Amino acid sequence: MIKKPSLNIMQQYAALKRDYNYGDIKIIGDRLIWEGKLKSSPIGDEYLIKISYKKNDVPKIFVLQPENLKLPEGKNRLMHVYDHEKQRLCLYYPDAKEWTNKKTIASTILPWAIEWLYYYEIWLITGNWTGGGIHPSDEKDKSEIK
């Protein structure tokens, strides 16, 4: 079996340039940065997103604007985020290997960010997160119950 090699920063850059060229793409040192506006749907709101990626690390995804994402009535924290204050999104479960450095950010992370925004907007309306998923803190909470 042929093992697929990991993608380097320039390959990730090229895929982003090809699929999301309306964003600002730059390489700073050994880090790839993409900033651009995404919408959950044609009628959804627009969000300024930043992705920061360093090879052999995981992409980090942030909502930059709005600076403070709205919350549904009665909620005091965002759902499926790694950092509420920095608005760092949780888009996949790392232990499931849904994303590896053998996949492009353009074909995985950005579509998943759009999907997260879609479920976020439904959550704002209903107060119920329908996006599914497992967040590492969910497992920790379950293990503490046992």
Residue (of 25, 111, 124) closest to 74 by Cα position: 124
Helix (H) or strand (E) holding 18: helix 9-19
Q: Tell me the pTM.
A: 0.88
CATH class of 9-145: alpha beta
Task: List, for residues 20-67, the tens digit of each pLDDT value.
Answer: 999 999 999 999 999 999 999 999 999 999 999 998 899 999 999 999
Strands 60-65 and 46-54: antiparallel
Distance CA 136, CA 63 (A): 20
Structural domain spans, the chain = 9-145
Place 136 in a pLDDT band, splitting at 50, 70 and 90: low
pLDDT at 140 over 60: no
At 41 the pLDDT is 92
